[in-house]
Structures are given as C-alpha cells and as structure tokens.
C-alpha cells in the first residue's frame, strides 16, 4: 500500500512536524501541502461517482471528491445540499447506492463506522459522543483501553494521554468527569480519541457552531497541528469567513451534486455564495431590505449604559418597527450591552425609558421580560432552548401553564398555541413534535424567535441570529426579523457578520472598546464603512 503521509526521511514512518504556535503550525501545514502537490502524491482518499438514493429522493448525484494528507478540505453548502450524507458515507455510517471509495489506492467498503475507524477515518460530529459520567481519560481510550493480564494499565494510558495533550497543546485533567468540561474541551477529547486510533482522515462536522471566539482559536490551533502532522481533515462549516481562513481546498455542494472543487485562493465569499445558491452575496443579504426609514419617537431609550470593564456610557434609542444594528469587532462590548438591557449583567447601570416613561433598570431577565424586553442569546442551545423538549414546548416555555386545564398541561393545547408563531416562521408542522436537538441550526433559531413571538414582546434583542446556519436559512431568519419589525416590534441586532448587520438594519451604531464611536445608515452602507470608522477611532485612541 502506498504511503500517503508526509514526505519522510527514508524510514517507513511519516516525519511529524512539531510547531509551537498557531502561526508556525499554519506555515508548516502550508509547506507540507505544497510538498505533497509538488511530489505528485496520490490522494489518501478518493470518492468517485458517489450516489445515494432513498425512495423518491436522490440525495447525492455522482459526487467526486479527493482528500490529500496534510490538507484541510472544506465542504460547504446549504442544509440539504448533501454534506452530511457524503460524510456519513466516507466514515461508514451509510452505504452508497453507487460509486467507489479508494483509501490509499485500494478500493474499500465500509459496512459500519467501526470498519472506517479501523482504517483510520474518524468523525467528530456537532452532537458529541462523549460519555458524561466517565473521566476525560476514560473517554479518550474508550474501546481501546490498554490492558495486561486483564487489568487496566493506567500509567500507560496516562502517559499517552499526556503525550496527546502536549501534541495538541490542550490542558485537561485526565480524571475530571467529561460532562463537566466545556464543549471545546469535549471536542478535544474526541480528537484525542481519534489519534489513539491512529487517525489518517479526521472529519469535523460544524465543530465551531457551539463554541465562543477564544475556544474557536484553540480549535484552529489543533487543526493546524494535525494538518502539520499529515492528517487529512474534512471540515464542514456554515461560517464562510472561517472556511476561507482555514481551508486549503474548498468543495461546494448544491442539491446533492458538486458545483466545484478548487484551492482556497480561487474562492471568495461571494463566489461561494453564488455557487451555493446561484445568486450574489449582496443580493442574497439585501433581498428583504425595506429601504424606507422608520419615523416617530423612540419606544426604548437607554442612556449612559455601563458594564464594568466592558461597556462605558453608551446611549441608544430604537423605535417601534425599526431594526437597530450594533456593529463592532470582538471585544467591543456588543453582547454585554444587550445583556445589560435585558437584566443579565447584575453590575450594569443606566437609565431606561419605555414608551416615554422612565422605568426601573432591569436587574434580572424576568424584570426585563415584565417590561416586554427579551433576548435571543448568542448561545441558543444552552441559553435559549431546552434541547430535550419537543419544539412546541420550547415555543410555550415562557408561560407553559397558559391554557392548561386544572393545572394539567396538554400537548395538544401547547401545539395549538405554538402553531401560529411557527407557521409565521415557516417551521414545518412535523417539526413541532420533534425534539429540538434533532433540528437544524436554522430551525432551532426560528424556535427561539417563535418563543418571543408567541409571548408578544415589544422589544427583541437578537445576538448572533445566524451563527451556525447556512446562507439560505440566513435569508429566512432576516425575513422573519423584518416581518416582526413591520408588526411593530423594536429590534436591536448584533452580529459579528458586519455585512449582515448593515444589510438588515435601518441604522447601525458602531462600538469600539466598549464605547459608542458613531452611527451610519443601514442597508445602503457597507461593512467597509464600519471598519473604517473603527480603525479611525483606534488610531485616534492610540495617538
């Protein structure tokens, strides 16, 4: 069998590349990828003519895909484009209806994920498979425990665990219960488990959808180290900026087929959207722009809002029917400002006027809710939804007893309450009965909106509404927000996607280092206008 690892020094083992920093790893990975291409090395995995057909549905239509050692190969496409189906075939969870899989120049057939894992293909899904009650080390060696005479060799496993930690630069107590770890650390355990299995191809399915910016950077560093070691990585993400920053090659899928597979340098964000949807990025984001400004008095007016160390004396106002955007870079105080307005920052201060009357500053979320102010949080899975409950129960979560009979909840009654809001958000009726954890990111976000739509709030604060959803779902979600605004709800929108903020807001306030530095008109402005304002403020501050 041909060795498709990194170029070696004459021995049979690949020459691992060690690096001490994220930037160093990225450089080593790029050099490795270049060496692989110059040597004319065959792909470690080749999928040819892959098809998958279900009764009445052709999920995949003759897809060809090549995966090289030491490369990050990204797959992008809308929900339903075929990404997950293709990956499940690659890792043995599904059998293709037609086509061929070659691994290191040999045709292979996987009838189970364990067969693919034995061949060196490991998948880490968005829904992690960590066993919460076991220790971190027990999860890493699950199914591959080191034994001698029937007894566990703890010291041997501990030594390998620490070696893997050093290789990936992660710090996790081996004896800590896995369920108490952050999502990012649990992902690291899954990756370490794959390395124990001598992974050649690592599949990462939406790995950053549920983690914050700092945790993302840590994951990127791990990806760079694995790439530098010669591991082939299939990376799936809806974050197109992330894809452009991380991938070596990008394949776009649409309607079960491959639209194109090219090096990262030949793609732009706009060209990827065009390939995914057949329309330009600008037209996609501005499809539902109203164009007309909103007149009248501010319904909500917050003055001199401060959060110690995060926000300094910010004042803002928003009218009924208006979408007010808040733009800024990471660390600008966007999220903290929203949390203060909804009573989630106990040490925050400020003055709040609603509909012309001063009201007490909210000290906890229930107080804000009583004022008609609600938040769709950045982390919808942990703060906005109860994943184990069905969709209808999440929509009625703010007041489940409304409509109950003699204190008994009725699923039929709750579904009847939930349906008007979910119909308005185009959530399919069958999804109402399903548990939330089985829904796509876009449908989960719709449920968070539906919850407050059903509750009848007057002011809705929306933090990162499109994180982890595909471009088509983004358009749907912004159409929902516009519809809510047109019905009289005042909306304050925060997103790290600057082009989305300016394209879907009537006005945009720009923050930098916790301070309000300016305002620009929404919809007709560009993200460059925001960036120029921020950089000008930074230069003034530095001077």
**Rounded-to-10 torsion of CA 443, 440, 77, 211:** 110
pLDDT at residue number 222: 85
Bridge-based pairing of strands 311-318 and 300-307 is: antiparallel
The Cα 133–Cα 138 span in angstroms is 10
> Could you give the CA distance from residue 345 to residue 455 in angstroms, rounded to a whole number?
23
Cα 528 to Cα 289: distance, rounded to the nearest angstrom: 19
Contact predicate 435/390, CB 8 Å: yes
* pLDDT at site 167: 77
Residue with tokens 């909306």: 491
Identify which has the larger pLDDT, 262 or 429: 262
Q: Please give the pLDDT value at position 290.
A: 47
Angle at 13 between CA 8 and CA 18, to 5 degrees: 70
Asked which of 158-172, 246-260, 278-292, 356-370 is least confident by mean pLDDT, the reply is 278-292
Residue 231 burial by Cβ neighbours in a 10 Å radius (0-12, 13-18, 19+): buried
Helix (H, G, I), strand (E, B) or coil at 215: helix
> CA geometry: angle at 437 spanning 340 and 76, to 5°?
90
| Per-residue pLDDT, 44 | 94
What is the maximum alpha-carbon separation in the chain? 80
Torsion 245-249-252-253 (CA) sign: negative
pLDDT over threshold 80, residue 215: no
For the chain, what is the mean pLDDT? 81
What pLDDT is attached to residue 350?
Answer: 96
User: What are 402-416's pLDDT values in tens digits?
Assistant: 766 666 677 777 877
- Residue 259 CB contacts under 8 Å (≥ 6 apart), including other chains: 252, 253, 275, 276
Structure tokens at 525: 């402005």
Domains of the chain in start order, with CATH, are 23-120+199-276 (3.40.50.300), 125-196 (no CATH), 296-372+457-543 (3.40.50.300), 380-456 (no CATH)
Query: If we measure between CA atoms, which residue out of 73, 53, 75 comes closest to residue 62?
Result: 53
- Give me the mean pLDDT over the 209-231 stretch: 82
Q: How confident is the model at residue 539 (pLDDT cuts 50, 70, 90)?
A: low
Q: How confident is the model at residue 301 (pLDDT cuts 50, 70, 90)?
A: very high
pTM assigned to the model: 0.59
Q: What is the pLDDT of residue 279?
A: 55
């Amino acid at each position: 069998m041909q060795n498709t690892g990194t170029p070696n020094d004459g021995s049979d083992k690949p020459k691992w590349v060690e690096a001490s920093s994220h930037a160093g790893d990225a450089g080593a990975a790029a050099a490795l990828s270049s060496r692989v291409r110059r040597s004319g090395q065959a792909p470690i995995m080749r999928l040819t003519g892959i098809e998958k057909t279900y009764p009445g549905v052709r999920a995949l239509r003759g897809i060809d895909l090549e995966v090289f050692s030491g490369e990050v190969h990204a797959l992008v496409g809308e929900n339903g484009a075929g990404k997950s189906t293709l990956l499940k075939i690659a890792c043995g969870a599904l059998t293709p209806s037609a086509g061929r899989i070659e691994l290191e120049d040999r045709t292979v057939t996987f009838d189970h994920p364990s067969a693919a894992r034995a061949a060196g293909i490991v998948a880490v899904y968005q829904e992690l498979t960590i066993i919460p009650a076991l220790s971190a080390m027990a999860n890493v060696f699950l199914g591959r425990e080191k034994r001698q005479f029937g007894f566990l060799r703890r010291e041997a496993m501990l030594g390998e665990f620490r070696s893997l930690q050093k290789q990936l630069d992660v710090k996790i107590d081996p004896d800590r219960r896995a369920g108490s770890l952050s999502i990012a650390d649990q992902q690291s355990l899954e990756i370490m488990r794959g390395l124990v299995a001598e992974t050649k191809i690592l599949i990462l399915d939406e790995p950053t959808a549920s983690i914050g910016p700092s945790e993302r950077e840590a994951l990127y560093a791990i990806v760079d180290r694995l790439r530098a070691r010669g591991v082939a990585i299939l990376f799936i993400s809806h974050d197109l900026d992330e894809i452009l920053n991380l991938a070596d090659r990008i394949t776009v899928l649409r309607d079960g087929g491959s639209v194109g597979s090219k090096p990262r340098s030949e793609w732009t964000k706009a060209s990827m959207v065009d390939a995914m949807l057949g329309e330009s990025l600008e037209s996609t984001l501005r499809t539902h722009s109203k164009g007309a400004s909103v007149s009248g008095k501010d319904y909500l007016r917050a003055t001199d809002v401060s959060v110690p160390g995060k926000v300094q004396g910010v004042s803002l106002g928003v009218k009924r029917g208006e979408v007010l955007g808040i733009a800024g870079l990471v660390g600008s105080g966007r999220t903290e400002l929203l949390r203060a307005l909804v009573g989630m920052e106990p040490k925050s201060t400020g003055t709040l006027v609603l509909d012309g009357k001063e009201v007490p500053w909210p000290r906890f979320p229930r107080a804000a809710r009583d004022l008609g102010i609600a938040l769709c949080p950045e982390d919808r899975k942990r703060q906005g939804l109860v994943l184990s409950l069905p969709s209808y129960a999440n929509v009625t979560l703010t007041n489940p007893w409304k409509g109950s009979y003699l204190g008994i909840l009725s699923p039929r009654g709750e579904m009847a309450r939930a349906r008007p809001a979910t119909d308005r958000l185009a959530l399919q009726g069958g999804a109402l009965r399903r548990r939330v954890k089985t829904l796509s990111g876009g449908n989960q976000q719709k449920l968070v909106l539906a919850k407050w739509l059903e509750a009848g709030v007057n002011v809705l604060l929306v933090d990162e509404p499109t994180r982890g959803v595909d471009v088509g779902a983004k358009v749907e979600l912004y159409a929902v927000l516009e519809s809510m605004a047109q019905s009289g709800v005042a909306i304050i929108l925060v997103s790290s996607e600057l082009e989305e903020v300016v394209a879907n807001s009537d006005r945009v306030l720009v923050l930098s280092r916790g301070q309000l530095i300016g305002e620009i008109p929404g919809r007709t402005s560009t993200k460059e206008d925001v960036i120029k304002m921020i950089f000008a403020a930074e230069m003034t501050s530095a001077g």
